[in-house]
Amino acid sequence: MVAAAYSMPDLLLVEDNANDIMVALRAFRLRGLEHRVKVLRDGAEALDYLTGGGLEDGDEPPPLPKVVLLDLRMPRVDGRAVLLHMRADERMRKVPVVIVSSSQAESDIRDCYRLGANSFVVKSVDAKRPGEYLVDVARYWLNLNRVPH
């Protein structure tokens, strides 16, 4: 597979829960952000995508997203392992990672920041505005946050 075959979105949503994905995509669609989002269903898929798994020798890896929304507890490879890998990789080290989790445990929050998370957001259930908290997070990282060039 060649690097040109990749179309890297601005935002990666790494989530294994089908209902959470559906809610998030609906919220992004309502706010005109759906074309900027790529969904990956577990940490192994995320690492393969980010590292350009399957590239042939000499191919350039795909461009990096502007932000990764990363679930903490997933099958195969969990969010902590993805975060560790990203922070250990020179190319991915500075990509903002927002942990999105149902956990409110102080130990999880502390651990994620220690591993290099840029933010920790607890999943919110709001019947009047489902998934809107993710739109707020995405808008901040995509539109308001500034990084040095």
Does residue 149 form part of some domain? no
Could you tell me the residue range of the domain that residue 18 belongs to? 3-144
pLDDT band at 1 (very low <50, low <70, confident <90, very high): very low
Domain total in the chain: 1
3-state secondary structure (DSSP) of residue 47: helix
6 pLDDT exceeds 60?
no
Which one-letter amino acid corresponds to residue 72?
L
Does residue 20 form part of some domain? yes
Does residue 55 form part of some domain? yes
Which one-letter amino acid corresponds to residue 49?
Y
Burial category of 64 from C-beta neighbours within 10 Å (exposed 0-12, middle 13-18, buried 19 and up): middle
**Average pLDDT estimate for 82-108:** 96
Percent of the chain with pLDDT over 90: 75
Does residue 40 form part of some domain? yes
125 pLDDT exceeds 90?
no
pLDDT band at 53 (very low <50, low <70, confident <90, very high): confident
At 8 the pLDDT is: 61
Asked if residues 142 and 11 have their Cβ atoms less than 8 Å apart, the reply is yes
What pTM was estimated for this model as a whole?
Answer: 0.89
